[in-house]
Amino acid sequence: MDRLFGLDQPAPTDEYTAHLTTAHDNVELSIIRSILEGEEIPYRVRERGSGGVVKVIAGYSMYGSDIFVPAELLEKATEVLDAYRNGEVIEEEDADGEV
């Protein structure tokens, strides 16, 4: 049934952005947004299917929210998100390249 309504694939986007992940609730979306903002990675959120309308009416979308980042930052964004999901500490480098 999801294929019928286009819910089985990320929302279409342009060639300059890449699909990072899909958040399935507002809490997960907020956490991912916070992580990307903390790492200064720009992102765009698009709702699947009629999720945008459903979110306005109900306050959340049961279809999920696709998160896109610039294609050249996809690897960095994936590493940061995977580190969070695996409970790893992300160490920042100083100006000299030392941790």
- Is the model's pTM score more than 0.85? no
9: CATH: 3.30.70
Residue 70 falls within a domain, yes or no?
Answer: yes
Q: Structural domain of residue 67, as residue ranges?
A: 2-85
Residue 24: per-residue pLDDT: 85
Percent of the chain with pLDDT over 90: 36
Residue 96 falls within a domain, yes or no?
Answer: no
| Total structural domains within the chain | 1
Residue 73 falls within a domain, yes or no?
Answer: yes
**pLDDT, tens only, 54-90:** 566 666 666 788 899 999 999 999 999 998 888 877 6
For the stretch 69-74, contacts whose Cβ atoms lie closer than 8 Å and that sit 24 or more positions apart, written own/partner, are: 69/17, 69/18, 69/20, 69/36, 69/41, 69/42, 69/43, 69/44, 70/16, 70/17, 70/18, 70/41, 70/42, 71/15, 71/16, 71/17, 71/18, 73/41, 73/42, 74/18, 74/20
